[in-house]
Structure 1
Amino acid sequence: MGYSRVGIVTGANKGIGLAIVRQLALQYPKSSLNSGPFLIYLTARDKGRGEAALKALHEDAQLQKAKALKEHGGLSEIKYHQLDITDRKSVDAFAAHLKQAHRDGIDVVINNAGIALNGFDANVVKTTLGCNYYNTMEACHTFLSLFKPEGRLINVASTGGKLNKYSDEVRNRFLASKSEADVTSIMKDFASSVEAGKEKEAGFPSAAYAVSKAGLIGATRALAVAEREKGSSVLINSCCPGYVNTDMTKGNGTLTPDDGAQTPVFLALGDIQGETGEFWKDKKRCEW
């Protein structure tokens, strides 16, 4: 079967990622991107969990009532594919599959995969930055080579990455960053300062997740500028889903996963009029 649109959601077997897949299927028919059948890849590290999530979507009462899925006469088809963004071989294997299966290219990528670990030390920082910053940006570069013109790349970040937690010097370094390399140098300085036990003196919060998301927002902005300068029309944005009740917030969030999916899905399907390199929350651009 041919597909008019192809979308990918990483870290999609539960929580916000799973809700994003669900909302893409529900909202696609009325979106301006609707040009025919839509294939959504639900990706996850673990095959068992990914396939269980897929089964839950096929049994979802709202999807059935809306006739959103192909099996009910709808436009969307959801498939599971293994993807672990922290494993280079996994990323390359998925990219090879996409290139072979979708020769016209892909339309939407929502990078939702991420981690939030307990505690704070140099090892927690290294692991958190590895997944949420370095591996996410590596995945962005891999996927960018596969996009159709005017595709959309969305990185799920957090208002935890806002710059009000930093010294003026560090904040100004973030804002003055012209390239991913500039942002990466800040991430390296943060990791080094934690190793030395002096992150607060260096102007950083003692918070691995928050700094990783600040880095992601900054690098997403830099990537958008670089791609636009190359003549690319792919829209590249980051967003905060809000404080969502998931495993990552240990059940303390005040929003449902479906609530949290709204801004990423808006950036994927909505009329954002060519806006790129922005940080969004509640479907609006917000100050970093």
Structure 2
Amino acid sequence: MSYTRVGVVTGANKGIGLAIVRQLALEYPKSPINNGPLLIYLTARDRGRGEAAVKDLFEDAQLKKAKALSADGGLSDIRYYSLDIADSKSISMFAAYLKQAHGGGVDFVINNAGIAMQGFDSNVVKTTLGVNYYGTLEACHALLPNIKPNGRLVNVASTVGRLNKYSDEVRDQFLSSKTEEDVTRIMQTFASAVEAGKEKEAGFPSAAYATSKAGLIGATRALALAEKAKGCSVLINSCCPGYVKTDMTRGGGNKTPDQGARTPVMLAIEDINDKTGLFWQNEEPLEW
């Protein structure tokens, strides 16, 4: 089958990522970008889990009832591809594959992959920033050249990354950051302060995940501004899916994964009036 639309969802073998893939297949037929068959790449680190997730989706009752997948006469198809955003080689191999397989580009990338570790120390901070901040941004830069004009790049962040947990000085540094390098310096300052056991004195919370997501929101905004200044028409946004019941929240949460998927799916395939560089929740821009 040939595809007129192609999308990518990272970290999609379970939880919100899996729900995003499901909702894309369900919502695509009535979206404004529908002009023919859609291929969705479900990416995950573990091949066994990723392929099992694809198999589960092909048997998913919701998708069956809606006849959403091509196997049932629908418009969408789902394919697994191995991607570990903590591994530079894995990222570059996936980007090269997309360029070779889809020379005309892909329509959207939703960066959902991330980690939330228990505990707090310098190792937890290094690992968390390595995936949620540095890994996601590396994926952004590698995959952005493969996104078509007027396509979408969506980074899944969190409201725990809002700036009410920081000193006025650190908050001002975030808000005045114009480039990714500015935000990265804040992340480096945080990591160094944690290593010295002085993150609170430096104006940061003792929270690796929250700070990594604050960095991601800031860097996404900076990337969007930089690309817009270069004349790039890709819309680049970050969003919070809400407090969703998943393994990452250890069963907590007040939203289902499908409810959490709504905002990232909207940012990928609906009309958002050329809005870029914003942070969203509940399908609306949110003050950072």
The equivalent of 1:180 in structure 2 is 180
- Tell me the secondary structure at the aligned position of residue 80 of structure 1: strand
Q: Distance in 2 between matches of 1:52 and 1:2?
A: 24
**Distance of 2:93 and 2:77 partners within structure 1:** 21
Distance 1:160 1:120 in 2: 16
What's the Cα RMSD here?
Answer: 0.5
What residue identity is the alignment partner of 1:222?
A
- Alignment map for 1:157-176 (pairs within 5 Å): 157-176=157-176
Cross-structure match for 2:199: 199
1:265 aligns to what? 265
| Secondary structure at the counterpart of residue 150 of structure 1 | strand
In structure 2, stretches of 5+ residues that fail to align are none
1:93 is paired with a residue of what secondary structure?
helix
In structure 1, C-alpha distance between the alignment counterparts of 2:185 and 2:97, rounded to whole Å? 33
**2:209 is matched with which residue?**
209
Deviation, 1:2, is: 1.8
Q: Given residue 152 of structure 1, which amino acid in structure 2 is its aligned partner?
A: R
Q: Which residue of the partner structure matches residue 6 of structure 2? A: 6
Q: CA deviation at 1:285?
A: 0.2
Deviation at 1:92, TM superposition (A): 1.1
Cα displacement (A) at 1:153: 0.2
Matches within 5 A, 1:75-154: 75-154=75-154
Counterpart in the other structure of 2:189: 189
Q: Residues 51-71 of structure 1, C-alpha deviation per residue, up to 9 Å, x if partnerless?
A: 110010000011011010001
Q: Aligned partners of 1:17 and 1:227: how far apart in 2? A: 26
Matches of 1:81 and 1:198, distance apart in 2: 41
Q: Secondary structure of 1:153's partner?
A: strand
Query: What do the CA deviations read for 1:192-248 (whole angstroms, capped 9, x no partner)?
Result: 000110000000000000000000000000000000000000000000000000000
Could you say which residue in structure 2 is the equivalent of 1:222? 222
Q: TM-score, with normalisation over the residues of structure 2? A: 0.99
Cα distance between partner residues in 2 of 1:140 and 1:156: 12
Give the C-alpha shift of residue 271 in structure 1. Answer: 1.0
- Given the two structures, how large is their TM-score scaled by the length of structure 1? 0.99
In 2, Cα distance between the equivalents of 1:62 and 1:211? 36
2: CA distance, partners of 1:93 / 1:175: 34
Name the amino acid aligned to 1:74. Answer: G
**Aligned runs of 1:34-73 on 2, under 5 Å?**
34-73=34-73
Letter in 2 for 1:184: T
Q: Indicate the SS of the match to 2:90.
A: helix
CA distance in 1, matches of 2:252, 2:107: 34
Give the corresponding residue for 1:21.
21
Q: How far did residue 24 of structure 1 move? A: 0.2
Distance 2:285 2:185 in 1: 26
Show CA shifts across 1:170-207 (max 9, x none).
Answer: 00000000000000000000000001100000000000
Structure 1 stretches (4+) deviating beyond 3 angstroms? none
Cα separation, 2, equivalents of 1:251 and 1:18: 16
Following superposition, the deviation at residue 143 of structure 1 comes to 0.6
How far is the alpha carbon of 1:254 from its aligned partner? 1.2
1:227 and 1:3 mapped to 2: Cα distance?
Answer: 27
Q: How far is 1:268 from its partner? A: 0.6
The residue number in structure 1 matching 2:233 is: 233
Structure 1: gaps (5+ residues): none
In structure 2, C-alpha distance between the alignment counterparts of 1:47 and 1:138, rounded to whole Å: 21
